[in-house]
Each structure stands twice: as C-alpha cells, then as structure tokens.
Amino acid sequence: MYMFKYVVKRLLLALLTLFIILSLCFIFIKLLPLPEVTGSEEYRLLVEMRRRAMGYYEPILVQLFLFWKRILTGFDWGYGEQMYQVQTVTSIIGEKLPATIMVNLYSLLVSIPIGLLLGIFAAVKKNKWQDHTISTLVMVFISVPSFVYAFFVQYLLCAKLNWFPLLANTTGSYFEPAMVYSLIPAILSLAFGTIAGLTRYTRAELSEVLTCDYMLLARTKGLTRRQATIRHALRNAMVVIFPMILGQFMSIMSGSLVIESIFSIPGIGALYVESIGRLDYNFFMAISAFYTAIGLGANLIIDLSYGFIDPRIRMGAR
Amino acid sequence: MKKGLRKLVAMTSIVATLGAMTGGGLVACGNDDAGTNDEGNYTYNAIFSATPTTWSSHTWETNDDSVILGFTTMGLYDVQLNKDKTSYEWVPEMAAGDPVDVTSQYAGQYGIKTGDRRKVWEIPLNRAATWDDGTPITADDYVYSMKQLLDPDMLNRRSDSYTGGGFTIYGAKNYLYGHTPIIYESVASHGYASNAEAVAAGETLYIDMINFYGAEGAPAVAEWNIEYGEPVPDPDNPDATPTRPVLNCSLTMDYDKVVTDQWTAYTDTTMYFDLGYFAQKAPEYMNADGTINTSKVAQDKLDFSDYLFSAKMLYDAYGSKDLDVGGGAEQFIAIKVENANLDYSFDNVGIKKKDDYTIVLAVTDEQDDFYIKYYLSSNWIVKQDVYERCKVTTGNLVSSTYCTSAATTPSYGPYKLVSFTRDSEFKLVTNPNWYGYTDGNHEGQFQTTCIKYRYVSPQTAHSTTKELFFRGEVDELSLSGASEYQTFGTSSSYNVYPDSYTMQFFMSTNSSYLEKESSATENHRPLQLASFRKAISYSLDRKAYCDAWEPASQPGFGLLNYMYSIDGNTGELYREQPAAKKALLRYAGFIEGEDGKWSSYNGTKFDTLDEAYDAITGYDPDYAASLFQQAYNEAKAQGLYKDGEPVVLELRSAGQTASEMFNGTAEMFNKNIADAIKKCPAGTTFSSVTLKVGTSTSQAEYSAAVKKGEMDISFSGWGGATFNPWGVIYGSYIDPANSNNFGFDTMSKGINITVKKGNEEITESLYNWARWLDNHQDDSDYDGGAAHNLYKKLGRVGEADMDFRVEVLAECELAQLNTAVNIPLFYQSTGSLNSAKFNNGCDQYLPLIGFGGIRHFEYNYTNSEWSNWVRQQGGNLEDYYKTN
C-alpha cells in the first residue's frame, strides 16, 4: 500500500513538473521573435496570414491556454512550420523514433554483458595486469569523443576493409539480417562508450564490495571466491549498477546526434537541435515534452528499482 | 555458483527480451512502400543531404522538396533538346497544343478591356494524361486543384505563385484572402519609394511591434517622473515658488495595456517599458532575481526615459532606414487595408473549364509566347480523393498532408514514388500509366527505369559521396577544391554547371564612411575615386584567382555572364551579341578604329571583333598603373591622400570571413595591386594599397551596411533569371529598393546614355533606360514613371526591335561597369563528374535545360553490366576517372 501511494504521488508530481516545465518553455519560446520571413511580398503576406490563423499573435497566456487545450483534448502538438512542413509533429517524431530506439537497443544488448563481464573481471583481478589493461582501455574510450571512433570505425571497417556498407540500410524491417548487418558499425560506435562506462562503474562498485567484512565471512563459511563474488558481492554491487543500466535504457530514445549523422541513420538525434536552430516552435515544444517525460519517467523507474533489487529499501514507508 | 550464473544470464535475457519487445514489429521509419519496386534495367543513383518534406505543388518550399515533384509531375509545357541537340525547344506535355490567346472574347470579364490582348488563354489538355492509377486527368482536376491551392482556409504556401509576380491569375488574391478582414500590405506594394513618400501622400503606416521590436507583452507606462525631497528654489528664477526636484525613476505600469496588437500606428505615442530590453541595456540596475534594483535607481537618479519606447519613437528612429522601403526590416512596416473582397467567390477567379479537355486562364498581365509556356511548365493539379483524405485542421488553418509520403503521392509524370523513408532513402520507378511512354513523342527519352536517392548527412556528404561514386554506387560527384579539379578536370565525365551569377567586389563610394574609417595608419579615402577603383579592377589577375580558388568558374568581366538568353524561344545568348561584346571591349580599354578593327590599351591590333573579345583578360597591370597614377593625382588634389600614407581597405562578406578562401583572396589582391604599383615611377602614386580581411558579419548587419555602403569592399554575387537579361541591370544594381547597390544612388549621379535609333540619338539617364528595359511585362512605370519618356518614344520594351534592346542593355551594362562600384571577378560555376554508366543528352550546358537532364540520359550499361564492369575495374573507379 505504501508503495502504491508512493507511486501515485510520484506520478502526480511528475505530471505537475511536466506541466510547469512545458508552460515555462512555451512562455519563453513565445517571448522570442518569430522567424524572419524572406521572399516575395505575396509570400510574406501569406505567412503572416497563416500565423494569424494559427493564433501566433494572440496574447501569450491565451496561446498557452490554446496549447494545453489542444494537447489535452486531442493530443495535438501542431505541425511543422519551419521544418517538415504540413506534417504533424507527432507523426515525424513517431517516424524517427524507431530508428533511434533500435540502433541504441542493439548497442545496449552488446554493451551490457560485455561491460559487466569486463568490470567483474577487472575487479576480481584488481591491480593485476589484466585490471590495468582494462582500466587503460576504459579511460581511452571514455576520454575520446564518440565521433572520433565513429569516424575511425567507418573509415576502417567500411571504407578501407569494405566489410560493411558505408551507409546504414534503414529501409526495411529492423530485424532483417541485411539491415542489422549494415548497422553494425553504428552499433559498435555507440557501444564503446557504454561498455567503458559500465566496466568502470562495475569495477569500482565491485572492488569496494569485495573488500567488505561480509565477504570475508562468506569465504570463511566455505564459499569459493567465485560463489562469494556472484552471490554476495555482485548482488550488492548491482544495487548501484542496475539503476544505471535502466537509465541507459531510458536514454536510448534520446538518440545520438553525431552517430546518427555519420552513419546516416534517420533517427531523432538531430531533431531537437534542428528545431532550435530553425526556430520551429511546435517541434521544440513537442520534443521538449518528450525528453522531459523520458527524464521524469527514468527517475521514477530508477527510484522504484532500488526496492526491487534490494528488499531492504522500501519507498514511501514511514 | 550455477545458480548465480543462471541469474546473471537470466538478467541479461530479461534485458534482451525487453529490448525485443520494445522493438518488436518495428520496421524502418516511414517506409511506406506504395507499389511495385521493380528497378528495371537502368537505375540512377543519387545522394541527398536534406530530406524533402512536402513535395505537393501547393506546399513545396525548398529545392530539395522539388526534386520528387520534378519526377512525378509534368507541366502543361516543357523544354526538351532540339533534334540536333544544340538548343532547347518547347513542347506541349500535359497540354495538347499551344495556348491560344482568346482575350478579345472576354472583354468585360476578368478585368479585360477592349483592345487588351494576351491576358486570357485557352489551353487544350492532353487527353491521354492520367494519374498513375489510370484515372483520366480532365479540366475538372485543374479547376478543383486551383481552388484548393487558393483556398482561404488553407493559405497554401505556393499560392503566391498565382497571386503576385509575373503570372497573376485574375481574382486569385481576392479569393485567397476572402476570409481576412484586414490586410497589412507593404509600403512598396502601394507604389511608394519610401515611407516618407507614403506619409506625405496621407497614408497611415503601421509598425509590427511584436516582430520588429520583440515588444510582445511590454506594459504601457502611464508616468515615469516623480517629485522628491524638499522644494528648492529655481536658481534661474529665485522669485518663483520653490518646487520639488523631479526624479525620473518611477514607473507606473499599466498592465491592462500591453503590446498585444501586432500592428500599431506609427504616430502612436503610448510609451512602453520592456524589462528584457532594460535588463540588457542596464544590467547594473537589475537584482539577481530579475527585478529592478529600485534603491540603486533612486540613488543614481536614473532617467528611465532612455529605456522607454513608443511606435512613434520606433518610426522616428528606424523609419527612414531599416523600416524604410528597401531597408533590412521593411516587412515590419505596412499600410492597413480593409479587405473589400471578403468572401470573394471562386467563380470570379480567372480559371474555368471550357469543356472536359480545355481550360481557360485569365491573368492580369500580358504574357508573350515564351512566358506563358514558361509559367505553365509548373503544374498545380492534385488528385482530389487523396488530397481531401489528407486534410487536417490546426487552429483555424486547414492543411493537407498530400505528397508527404509515398502513399500520399499520386503521380502523373514519368515516374512514381514507390518508397520514401525519411532521412534515409526514396525511390521512384517508371510510371507505366504515363502517356509519354506510348505517345510516340518521347522516343529515346526517359530511359532511366529507377531513380534512387540515398541520404548522407551534410557533415560527411562530400567524402561519403566520393567514396560511393568511385565504387560505382552513386552517379554524380560534385567536385570540391582545386586539387580535385586538377585531378578530374580533364575527364570525359567532367561537366561544368554554370549559374547566372557573377561574383564581384562591391566597393564603397560613401565618402563620409570612408572618412570615418580613416586614421593616420589607415587611409580609406581614395576608394571613393572611380579611377582608383578601376585601377584595382585592371590589377586583378582573374584567371590566376579562378585557378587557385574557383577552378570550375571562368574569369568574369561583365555583369551578365554567358548564360543569359535574349530570346526565350530560341535560346540566343546576350553575351554573343556584337553590342554586348563591344561594351566589354570598351570597358577593358580597347578602342575601335575607324576601320572597325580593335586595338588594346598597349596597342595590339585585332582583325575581328571576336579576336579582340577573346583577348580580354581583365588583367592589365600597365593600364592599372596609369589609373593608379591618375587616382593619386586626383586624391592629392582633393585632399584625400598625403604622401606616405598607407591605403588600407577592408574586405567583408555575409557570414564567415575567416576562411582560407578569403585570406587567399586578400593575398592575391595584395600581390596584384603591389605588382601594378611597382610599375609606376617612384613618387607618382600611392606608397601602398593593401586589403585586409574583416571580421565576420551577420546577414542582417551585412545587408544594412551594404545598403549604405558602410564597408569598404564586399565580396558577393548577383544575377537574375537567365531568360530575362533585361531586368538584371535594374533589379540587381540600380533599384534603390534593393540593398545591393552599395549606397550608390544611380539616379542622382547624372549618368546619361545615348543610343541611336535609326537616325535619331536618344539620350536618357542610366536609371531611366534600365527601368524601361526592366518593364518587360509590368506597365505601371510607364504611366508617368521613370520610363515615361522612353515609353512615349519607343513604346513597350517588348515591342522594340531586338537589336535595339540589346544595344540599350549593352550600354546600360557598360555605364554601370564604368561606375566601378562593382568589379566583376568570375562567372560562378560548379564542376562535377557524371557516372560513365550514361551520357548526357548534349555536351554543352544550355540555359533552361542544362545538359538535358534525366529526360535525355543515354545509358551505356544496364545495372548488371555496370556492376560487372565496376568489378572488372577492381571495384574502384578513381583511376578510371583520372585517365578517361
């Protein structure tokens, strides 16, 4: 019951936060001047008329009211004025989201087991040459921006060795072998950073847990080192690591501007930046809402996950 | 142990399953295959870096949008290569024959007066034309589609093609704005040359307070002066009753009256206060929480009036420059017009069905044979059932998502869109229901059976395209950089695509600006001398410049390059006319002898006009040296220069100037000028003239500065429509409403031109001649306007003898060149490699049709043959294109 109340409370708070953030975004964006219209006299007049018809010259609070009314009554976020003209914002986001999700998902499926295993291995072999090697590579992949190794992957695997096509094939089903194959360079480029992050995190957490007194107790009661590590150390370390993995899952929808650009993946990564650059307010608002909702949802799920992973943690209990 | 491992595996499995569930059933975004995908034998592969978003003829916006439109639609008329492939010819496509002038039958209708001609046209329609599903296209489609295009509830973006400009359909604008009670129209559209002229004529102007000044929500200020402290006597009038001093620090805001009306009369004196503007201008008076620090305001006795504004103040500050006609912000000032045509009926619009296969179009301006076909080479028809199905409403605006995906793209052109994946790929294949494949009029045309465009991000576009081109996977590669031009410039697959622009140095003649910029170490003043600017012009080695920076471009000497055609029907080129050649020879310092032979400045004689013309290089250091000496003497005499002062000029452009190209331009400029100055005996000219690259300039700043001539030298290109050379001189260089005449007021300079007409010599100003030439269709300026006298003598320009018109144009070009305000550098072109898979329709680039386009591709290989051939070359064609 405590949990249920807690979840309801958090959900309501999340909705309130979403409302406040979006209202503020809307007001601030409307304080900016509208994009300049260039072109013939007829064209400028026409655009003026269109803006008037869409209520762009109503007082801001009236516009805000209409904005929420349209969303709450018909989930109408408007359509593109500066980009993807005439098409609804939601349809464009809906079209571009799957590419982003799938590429990131494949990347995570590769990254998580490798990252965890490398982290565990490094922790177990702490301060030995294996640990030093892994830690050095981790530092390299964390320090170097993703676009650097993305370019390197493309150059080496696609251009020089010719193992993969230069451009990702994104016109069929995302489960077709040909498409998955063409996505491998992008998946690898995305995976390097995540693997490095997970490895470092797992190693750090596990190293700490492995030195705890209860690990000594576990060994003294007769468990082997491997048994103690997996049953006790890893489980405790996962309290911290698992929320990170969940966070990664939520963030897969945010996309990667650089990787998507380099491998020509029609994802959502560039959409937010483009909407700001081209002053398309409808897109900006819809994508802001999307990311805000993801952020709030991710926080909620991560908080709740603590209780599931470690039963000692109870949410909402007095 | 095993249990632990199982948990780990289970956890990973959960993650994988979750992922699979999330992605389950997903297909690539937007891939809405609309039919057969058969590529056939000949596939054309291309690259795009900006996705088309809407390619409906009612809403398309960008060149990227129009790509698909170009394949899936067809105009009523179109151009194709003539039989010997030396020029283009007009052919009816969706029309069944030439348009017929029926104006005389419509006197009293559509604003037609007795005696009017070429304003109402009957167009017979092609009876074989169908949509891609086989549905016949009839006159009803044309009328329905125009009604939708002009729908007052849709306000389609492309409606402006028919409500203004050269091809205005009668009543179209009235219908389009039939639901708009008030229209704010630009000052220029009412025929005023300036805001002052409009005000003098009794017009009330309105300022767009929201868009121009960003003043939305700013509250009105009822009072901003308060009295404070003890009364003190007036030192100038000790007998007067002491009064309390006034402190301008208190604001009484009227929050009930804020700027919400977009348009406010220019005389409105209501004062507004904008906190954002205040915070920006006086941050020291702001608290951290965004409120005003009132105690500091009182302490400093801040005068708030500096931070208030009214519509009147804005007009007084900007109305004679930025907001004025031709100013950078002219769209933010307007004349309010009450719409007298509310709920205008579409029945009054100048389009109607005569019978199932004939439409009648009534336009407001006379159209000649070329222009009527040119304008009708774009089509406006949409398929009714799909268009209606795609309609959506947002706010008060209705839109149609027609032509935003493959499923919503009916075709009536040679190709149909079969798949479209946003930001990834789109594909078109042969439309089997296109009449052209069976009508016998398109033999050998449209051999391509599939057109495939793939997306490459702009950041990596060139390198990726290059790699794909050499693999044989892409069929065109735009070259970039001098080394690529050197490597592939001799390939048989190399093509040069010229455009109509001449890149030029624009030079300031604004003496007060040049004076202001000058100091003891930098003298900018000599630039105001025409002799000095001409000296610069003849110093420049244009060929060396092109070789280094613009390998595809040609050195340029004229304002109009070799793209402009004097007759749209035949494609005859202006630059090839004797008068046009002579004008450039005279500008280059060549002299025509009494025997008709030409000699250059240094005395070289040429037997024919063409020989002399071919010898122009625009680079003549000797002539430049003599001009520098002349300029030096003039500068000394006018007090613009003292011996030993370094002359320094600044080069600026819109956007980024800190580039290798700009630095290289300055480097070449300085070397060329130094070479010319070295040819002058010591003490007879300027000690040094150097060009430095200025800092980056935003587009807005740049436009404002160009308009006023407030930068030394600008680098940019101007031109116009290649089939209308007549309007280029006025439109690009003289029109005061344009911002590119660099503050040089042609009207006030008294530049006269004399042109012989028969035995009569006609002398008029450059401005009036250029205006007369520009009035190709619009006769508004003939009625008491600038070209009135010429109109009385010569009639409309369209009625004048072609040789005479060319003579006038050449004289105008020469006169403008002689002002030396703008110095041509090169005729802009780009180069590219075409795939060896096919040949272009012709070898020479032709106006309007280029190399013939996809209509005339001749394939050397089928798809499978091509793959085999590429494989035989080792999978990489780079060496092939280097040597073939």
Name residues 294-333 of chain B within 8 A of A (Cβ): 331
Burial category of B530 from C-beta neighbours within 10 Å (exposed 0-12, middle 13-18, buried 19 and up): middle
Chain A touched by B758 (CB under 8 Å): no
Chain B touched by A277 (CB under 8 Å): no
Contact B838, B492 (CB under 8 A): no
Chain A touched by B433 (CB under 8 Å): no
Name residues 14-53 of chain A within 8 A of B (Cβ): 30-34, 36-37, 39-50, 52-53
Q: Which residues of B touch A112 (CB under 8 A)?
A: 12, 15
Contact B418, B429 (CB under 8 A): yes
Q: Which residues of A touch B401 (CB under 8 A)?
A: 86-88
Does B538 lie in the same domain as B407? no
> What count of residues does chain A have?
318
Q: Most A CBs within 10 Å: which of B2, B12, B18, B27, as the mutation test of the A interface?
A: B27
**Domain extent at residue A116:** 98-278
Q: Looking at A184-188, A273-277, B492-496, which range is the least confident one?
A: A273-277
Does B687 lie in the same domain as B740? yes
Does B141 lie in the same domain as B278? no
Residue A18, in any domain of the structure: no
How far apart CA B726 and CA B564 sit, in angstroms, is: 9
Does B234 lie in the same domain as B203? yes
Q: Residue B581 sits in a domain of what CATH number?
A: 3.10.105.10
Chain A touched by B290 (CB under 8 Å): no
Are B4 and A234 an interchain contact pair (Cβ–Cβ within 8 Å)?
yes
Residue B4, in any domain of the structure: no
Task: Return the closest-CA partner of residue B735 out of B749, B719, B747.
Answer: B747
Q: Which residues of B touch A260 (CB under 8 A)?
A: 457
Q: Residue B92 sits in a domain of what CATH number?
A: 3.40.190.10
Residue B33, in any domain of the structure: no
Chain A touched by B837 (CB under 8 Å): no
pLDDT (tens digit per residue) in B354-410: 999 999 999 998 888 888 999 999 999 999 999 999 998 877 889 899 999 999 999
How far apart CA B35 and CA B17 sit, in angstroms, is: 34
Average predicted confidence (pLDDT) for chain A: 83
Instruction: Give the chain A residue whose CA is nearest to the CA of B56.
Output: A86
Q: How many CA atoms, within 13 angstroms, populate the side-chain half-sphere of residue B376?
A: 31
What does the H/E/C string look like for B260-288? CCCEEECCCCCCEECHHHHHHHCHHHECC
Q: Looking at A103-107, A275-279, B485-489, B781-785, which range is the least confident one?
A: B781-785
Q: Residue B296 has which token pair? A: 């500091």
Bridging pattern class, strands B605-606 and B598-599: antiparallel
Chain B touched by A95 (CB under 8 Å): yes
Are B164 and A245 an interchain contact pair (Cβ–Cβ within 8 Å)?
no
Q: Most B CBs within 10 Å: which of A29, A38, A42, A81, as the mutation test of the B interface?
A: A42
- Dihedral, CA of residue A48, residue A50, residue A53 and residue A58, to nearest 10: -40
Residue A172, in any domain of the structure: yes
Q: Which residues contact B444 (CB under 8 A, 6 or more apart)?
A: B856, B858
Name residues 448-477 of chain B within 8 A of A (Cβ): 454-457, 459-460, 464, 467-468
Size of interface A-B (CB pairs under 8 A): 209
Name residues 13-42 of chain B within 8 A of A (Cβ): 15-16, 18-19, 22-23, 26-31
Asked whether the predicted pLDDT for residue A127 surpasses 50, the reply is yes
Residue B29, in any domain of the structure: no
Query: Checking phi first, is residue B786 left (phi over 0); if not, alpha (psi -120 to 50) or beta?
Result: alpha
Among the partner residues B26, B157, B176, nearest to A98 by beta-carbon distance: B26
Q: Which of B338, B354, B375 is the last residue of a domain?
A: B338
Domain count, chain A: 1
How far apart CA A168 and CA A102 sit, in angstroms, is: 13
Q: How far is B824 from chain A (nearest CA, A)?
A: 26
Residue A46, in any domain of the structure: no
pLDDT (tens digit per residue) in A128-147: 999 999 999 999 988 888 78
How far apart CA B512 and CA B575 sit, in angstroms, is: 37
Residue A211, in any domain of the structure: yes
Does B511 lie in the same domain as B482? no
Query: Backbone phi, then psi, for B299, in 5-degree steps?
Result: -60, -40
C-alpha dist (Å) from residue B459 to A274, B317, B633: 14, 42, 52
Does B487 lie in the same domain as B516? no
Q: Residue B126 has which token pair? A: 């092609």
Are A170 and B424 an interchain contact pair (Cβ–Cβ within 8 Å)?
yes
Q: Most B CBs within 10 Å: which of A26, A84, A85, A90, as the mutation test of the B interface?
A: A85
Q: Which residues of A touch B164 (CB under 8 A)?
A: 40-42
Residue-level pLDDT at A273:
78
Q: What is the DSSP string of B212-277?
A: HH--TTPEEEEE--EE-SS-B-BTTBTTSPPBPPEETT--EEEEEEES--SEEETT----EE-HHH
Q: How far is B208 from chain A (nearest CA, A)?
A: 11
Contact B623, B601 (CB under 8 A): yes
Residue A224, in any domain of the structure: yes
Are A264 and B4 an interchain contact pair (Cβ–Cβ within 8 Å)?
no
Contact A131, A122 (CB under 8 A): yes
C-alpha dist (Å) from residue B163 to A45, A226, B143: 11, 80, 16
How far apart CA A244 and CA B661 sit, in angstroms, is: 48
Chain B touched by A234 (CB under 8 Å): yes
Residue-level pLDDT at B415:
97
Task: Return the closest-CA partner of residue B814 out of B533, B579, B604, B528.
Answer: B579
Residues A296-305 have a mean pLDDT of: 82
**Coil, strand, or helix at residue B122?**
strand
Task: Return the closest-CA partner of residue A111 out of A186, A188, A180.
Answer: A188
Does B145 lie in the same domain as B218? no
Bridging pattern class, strands B838-839 and B100-101: unpaired
Residue-level pLDDT at B91:
96
Are B157 and A46 an interchain contact pair (Cβ–Cβ within 8 Å)?
yes
Instruction: Give the chain A residue whose CA is nearest to the CA of B258.
Output: A59
Residue-level pLDDT at B12:
47
Which residues of chain B, if any, have pLDDT below 50? 1-36, 776-777
Task: Return the closest-CA partner of residue B835 out of B811, B804, B868, B858.
Answer: B858
The CB density around residue B481, as the number of other CB atoms within 10 Å, is 11
pLDDT (tens digit per residue) in A46-76: 888 888 888 888 888 888 998 999 899 888 8
Q: Which residues of A touch B397 (CB under 8 A)?
A: 50, 53-54
Asked whether the predicted pLDDT for residue A252 surpasses 70, the reply is no
Sheet holding B219-223, edge to edge: B252-258, B219-223, B272-273, B308-309
Q: How far is B85 from chain A (nearest CA, A)?
A: 36
Residue-level pLDDT at A147:
80
Residue A131, in any domain of the structure: yes
Residue-level pLDDT at B55:
93
Instruction: Give the chain A residue whose CA is nearest to the CA of B423.
Output: A266
Does B217 lie in the same domain as B118? no
Name residues 580-639 of chain B within 8 A of A (Cβ): none
Are A105 and B404 an interchain contact pair (Cβ–Cβ within 8 Å)?
no
Domain count, chain B: 4
User: Which residues face B79 on adjacent strands?
Assistant: B90
Chain A touched by B874 (CB under 8 Å): no
Residue A300, in any domain of the structure: no
Does B466 lie in the same domain as B324? no
Are B401 and A87 an interchain contact pair (Cβ–Cβ within 8 Å)?
yes
pLDDT category at A193 given cuts 50, 70, 90 is confident
Residue-level pLDDT at B63:
85
Residue A318, in any domain of the structure: no
**Domain extent at residue B252:** 186-338
Does B413 lie in the same domain as B279? no
Chain A touched by B184 (CB under 8 Å): yes
Secondary element (H or E) of residue B415: strand B415-421
Are B59 and A102 an interchain contact pair (Cβ–Cβ within 8 Å)?
no
C-alpha dist (Å) from residue B388 to B391, B393, B400, B404: 5, 12, 7, 14
Residue B877, in any domain of the structure: yes
Chain B touched by A257 (CB under 8 Å): no
Contact B437, B446 (CB under 8 A): yes
Q: Most B CBs within 10 Å: which of A32, A82, A162, A170, as the mutation test of the B interface?
A: A170
Chain B touched by A156 (CB under 8 Å): no
User: Which residues face B453 on adjacent strands?
Assistant: B46, B426
Would the pTM of this model clear 0.80, i.e. be above it?
no
Encoded amino acid at A187, one letter: I
Sheet holding B598-599, edge to edge: B591-592, B598-599, B605-606
Residue B30, in any domain of the structure: no
Are A101 and B188 an interchain contact pair (Cβ–Cβ within 8 Å)?
no
Residues A178-200 have a mean pLDDT of: 88
Does B177 lie in the same domain as B247? no
Q: Residue A107 sits in a domain of what CATH number?
A: 1.10.3720.10
Does B233 lie in the same domain as B130? no
